[in-house]
Amino acid sequence: MGYAPRGMNSVAITLAPATELNLRATTTPAGRNRWAMADIASGARLWRLAMALGWLDIRLRYRGSMLGPFWLTISTGVMVAALGLLYSTLFKIDLHDYLPFLALSQVLWGFLAALVSEACSTFTDAESVIRSVRMPFFVFAMRTLIRNTIALGHNIVVIVVVFAIFAVWPHWQSLLAIPGLLLWAVDALFLTLMLGAFCARFRDIQPIVNSVMQIAFFITPVIWKPTQLSPATIEKLALNPFFDLLEIVRGPILGTDIAPSTWAGAIGYSVVLCAISWAFFVRARSRITFWV
C-alpha cells in the first residue's frame, strides 16, 4: 500500500492470496454408528460415575428431609392401602388376593412411569455439565436408570410389608422375573437416549409423554386384574406393550404362569423400541450439545 500518514514511516503490507474455506460434513452413516457405539462403550466404562451421580440426585432431591426417600415409600403405602380397600369392594375381590397384586403392580408401574417421565429431561437437566465437560451421553442415561432404581428399592418395602401381612411369599419361580428386569434395564437405557434427545429438541414433547402414560395406566392391568376381562378381550391386551412388559416381571413374583406369547410380545416390542431409539440417537448424538 502506498499511503502513509505524515510523520510516520511507510509500511509495506503484502496481502496473501485469497483462500477458500470449504465446510462440508463428510461423516457417513457408518461413521455415525461408530461414534454412537464408542459413546456407549466409553460411557459403560464410567458406570461408577453414573452410580455416584444417581445417588447424588437422590440425596439432593430429599435434602433437608427427615425421612428422605421414605416419604415416597409412605405415600405409596398409603395409596396402595386406600386403593386396595376401595377397589376390592367395587370389584368384589377378596382383599387377600387383590392387595398383594395391587401393591406389586403399583410399585412396578410407578417405576416405569417415573423412568419414562425423567427420560424426557435426561439431557436438559444436565445442560451445565454437557456444555462444560466432554462426557459420553450414555452416562446420563445410566444416571437416570440408577436414580429410579434406587427409588424402586425404597418402594419395595411396601411390597414386602403387604406380602408379610397376608403371608404371600414368592417361590423359586420368582427368579424368572430377573430376565424381565434385565430387559427393562436395556429398554430404559435406549428409551432414555431417544426421549432425552428428542425432548431436548422439542421441549413440548414431555407433557405429551406424561399424558400418554396416564392413559396407559388406565388401559393396563395395574389396578384391575386381567382375569376380570373376557377371553376375547384378554387377547387384545397383547396389543398393549405395557401389559407384556409388566407381566414378565409381575407374573413370576405372583406365581402366575407366563404364556410364551407374552414373552414373545415383550421381546418384540423391545427390539422395535431399541431399533428406533438407536437410529434416532445415531442421527442426533452430535446435535444434543446444541439443543440443550
Find the mean pLDDT for residues 244-249.
92
Q: Does residue 291 contact residue 197 with C-beta atoms inside 8 Å?
A: yes
Find the mean pLDDT for residues 256-279.
91
Find the length of the chain: 292
Find the mean pLDDT for residues 153-180.
88
Find the mean pLDDT for residues 139-168.
92
Task: Please tell me the chain's helix, strand, coil percentages from 3-state DSSP, rounded to the nearest 5.
Answer: 75, 0, 25
pTM: 0.84
pLDDT at site 123? 94
Q: If pLDDT is split at 50, 70 and 90, which confidence band does 1 have?
A: very low
Share of the chain above pLDDT 70, in %: 89
The 3-state DSSP class for residue 1 equals coil
Q: Report which residue type is found at 34.
A: R
Q: If pLDDT is split at 50, 70 and 90, which confidence band does 4 have?
A: very low
Find the radius of gyration of the CA atoms of the chain. Answer: 26
User: Grid coordinates standing for 262?
Assistant: 407374552
Per-residue pLDDT at 9 exceeds 70: no
Q: Report which residue type is found at 97.
A: D
**What are the distances in angstroms from CA 239 to CA 36, 167, 245, 262, 268?**
31, 34, 12, 10, 11
Cα 166 to Cα 103: distance, rounded to the nearest angstrom? 12
- Spatial neighbors of 181 by CB under 8 A, at least 6 apart, are 249
